[in-house]
Amino acid sequence: GRKVLIVYAHQEPKSLNGSLKRVAVEELSKQGCSVTVSDLYAMQFEPRATRNDIVGFLHNSEEFNYGVETWEAYKRGALSNDLIEEQKKVQEADLLIFQFPLYWFSMPAIMKGWMDRVLVQGFAFEFPNCYDSGLLKNKLALFSFTTGGGKEMYAKGGTSGDIRYLLWPMQHGIMHFCGVKVLAPHICFAPEYVSEEERKEMLIAWAQRLKTLWKEEPINCSPEWYFK
């Protein structure tokens, strides 16, 4: 069976994000997938990238460089336990689903902190092995999120600009950089401003999509896709 890791960032289990996460767990488990959830708020995941991420001595104790220190620590198996734990989940997963509400045109800080701390050099990329030759190739990722604004706001001529512009740093700058192939995002627009009925429809649409998810082709992760 395939393995799925859901990295989930929402404080309230009863929220639409909580329900989307639950639907994904149920639907994918039904398909025989083994599903792991990193519930970042419940885990009280530490989003700050600090000296505490390295166990024992520093490579250069004179001047702290987080990128260099975590790279060296990864090579000698000296990253903190929480990072080793998350890296193991990523390593085993065929598919990574990121479930979150859009905050200020981006992911919540706790999830960005997960990206900053977990995807270290040596584990997720290794120059010149990035983008198509990133170390996490053979994996798929999908960003599933809710927005505050309606769909028309995130259209090409809308006040917030094409939603794809916002996805560039997340899908291309993080996932594609690490070699991960990206499936089309799943976006629930402005759930707070729609009826209960429409929110139920959003959950049904997500469950439907998950039924055939493994047949989907990744998006063409090129600047043209985002900025055409």
pLDDT digits (tens, 9 = 90+) for 61-93: 999 999 999 999 999 999 999 999 999 999 999
Separation between Cα atoms, residue 147 and residue 191, nearest integer Å: 7
Q: What is the mean pLDDT of residues 144-161?
A: 95
Contact indicator for 36, 5 with CB cutoff of 8 Å = yes
Share of the chain above pLDDT 70, in %: 100
Domains annotated on the chain, with CATH: 3-227 (3.40.50.360)
Nearest CA to 73 out of 120, 113, 105 is that of 120
pTM of the model: 0.97
First-to-last C-alpha distance (Å) of the chain: 37
Q: H-helix or E-strand containing 206?
A: helix 196-211
pLDDT at 227 over 90: no
**Mean pLDDT score of the chain, rounded to an integer?**
97
Q: What is the mean pLDDT of residues 44-55?
A: 98
Percent of the chain that is helix, strand, coil (3-state, to 5): 45, 15, 40
